[in-house]
Chains A and B, each alone.
Chain A
Amino acid sequence: MKDMLKMGLILLAFTAVSGMILGLTNDVTQGIIQERLEEENIQAIAGLLPEAEDFNNLEDEAILQRDLIVEVYEGQKEDETVGYTVRANPIGYGGRVVVITGISVDGEILGVEIAAQSETPGLGDKITDNEYLDQYVGKSTEEELVTTKGGETGEKYINAITGATVSSEAVTDGVNAARALYEEVLKSR
């Protein structure tokens, strides 16, 4: 019994020391990581809504409780709203895909940006190519977008990347989440 207690204490001591070391490392790296993420985020949302001069983070319960939605910014120019950027995190082939969608105030998709992904290199990671993402630009938010493998053309269709349907669908899911959010909540603000 005494032996077990001693061993438990030794293990606890090792874990405590490791926790302390990790806490210190975390303090150092966390700042750098946060800073980088914020910088990337600002660049991404500014790229999607080039017109806007100021961005407000909308921390509304009704928005953040929705499926897949992570963060929403309202872009303003001279106190007038010009559009929104919606950050969503649908599940792809290799984990979450972070999709930022820019939507103009009159319901047009202005652009889509992939902020983070871990899809298969050479296949799924083609979702970051402009060639693919440009398909979303100019679509209206009124109709749900559909990923197609058959090459159908039309307002609501997005052509999937060959061999990477799951990844393509993930992006469409993210854009659809943003689109629905705009239609159901943001539009009537």
Chain B
Amino acid sequence: MSLESIFIILISAILVNNFILSRFLGICPFFGVSKQVETAFGMGMAVTFVMTLASIITYVVYGLLDHWNIEYMQTIAFILVIASLVQLVEMIIQKTSPTLYQSLGVFLPLITTNCAVLGLTILNIDYDYNMGSSIVHAIGAAIGFTLAIVLFAAIRERLELAAVPEVFKGFPIALVTAGLMSLAFLGFANLV
């Protein structure tokens, strides 16, 4: 795989096709755990970890499904892989690093139903990515996810202090803010 194609996949996943702001994958954690920069960053790290592992495993699993001509089991197989992976990661982190578990632990169960992870693995298949490209794509997607959620958390921390009309308090103003961020990211559209 050439350096150029790695670069293109990364830039496109981080900025142009940002998972949250332009693909709408991972919206639940985006609004759910973006009240503070620190927790947002923790979520981003947990997602990065699971995404990278999930792309590797689902790549192998899809190879098997394809070999047996049962591609239609894809959705079931992938979601089960992700669910068990999350469980496994949770157990390993809990045993090896209690401090890391303290900071990431609460987010891990949420990742199973994070559509960004399942979405990523399905996109890898749709794009016919090989193992290498899938991993690069996973890392790019995870960086993009973390970038968006951390930036958004920083804005929301300040938004807490702003005078917002009563009916827009909370979720509506968060959505409008996300809309403006998405608009800004649209500026990257012609980058690649």
Contact = CB atoms under 8 A, between A and B. Distances in A.
A91 B192 contact: no
B73 interface: yes
A15 B123 CA distance: 24
Contact of B192 (A15, A18, A25, A166): A166
Nearest to A30: B72
Interface string A24-58: 01100000000000000000000000000000000
Given A149-B190, A163-B189, A166-B192, A96 B70 contact: no
Given A93-B17, A165-B189, A26 B72 contact: yes
A95 B76 contact: no
Contact of A18 (B76, B123, B126): B76
A23 interface: yes
A15 B70 CA distance: 13
A165 B190 contact: yes
B73 A95 contact: no
B119 to A, nearest CB: 12
A95 B126 contact: yes
Interface in B170-192: 189-190, 192
Interface string A116-142: 000000000000000000000000000
Nearest to A95: B126
Contacts of B189: 163, 165-166
A96 B127 contact: yes
Interface string B115-140: 00000000100111000000000000
B86 to A, nearest CB: 16
Interface string A140-181: 000000000100000000000001011000000000000000
Size bracket of the B interface? 10 to 19
A23 B76 contact: no
A10 interface: no
A22 interface: yes
Contacts of A26: 72
Nearest to A89: B128
Given A149-B190, A165-B189, A166-B192, A95 B72 contact: no
Contact of A15 (B17, B76, B190): B76
Nearest to B80: A15
A23 B127 contact: no
Interface in A88-123: 91, 93, 95-96
Contacts of A93: 17
A22 B73 contact: yes
B190 A23 contact: no
Most chain A beta-carbon neighbours within 10 Å: one of B16, B73, B192: B73
Contacts of A96: 126-128
A25 B70 CA distance: 12
Contacts of B126: 95-96
Please name the 10 residue pairs, one residue from A and one from B, whose CB atoms are nearest each other, closest first: A26-B72, A165-B190, A95-B126, A22-B72, A91-B127, A19-B73, A18-B76, A22-B73, A96-B126, A15-B76
Given A22-B73, A23-B72, 16 more contacts: A18-B76, A19-B70, A19-B73, A19-B76, A22-B72, A22-B76, A23-B70, A25-B72, A26-B72, A91-B127, A93-B17, A96-B126, A96-B127, A163-B189, A165-B189, A166-B189
Interface of B: 16-17, 70, 72-73, 76, 80, 123, 126-128, 189-190, 192
9 contacts: A18-B76, A19-B76, A22-B72, A22-B73, A23-B72, A25-B72, A165-B190, A166-B16, A166-B189
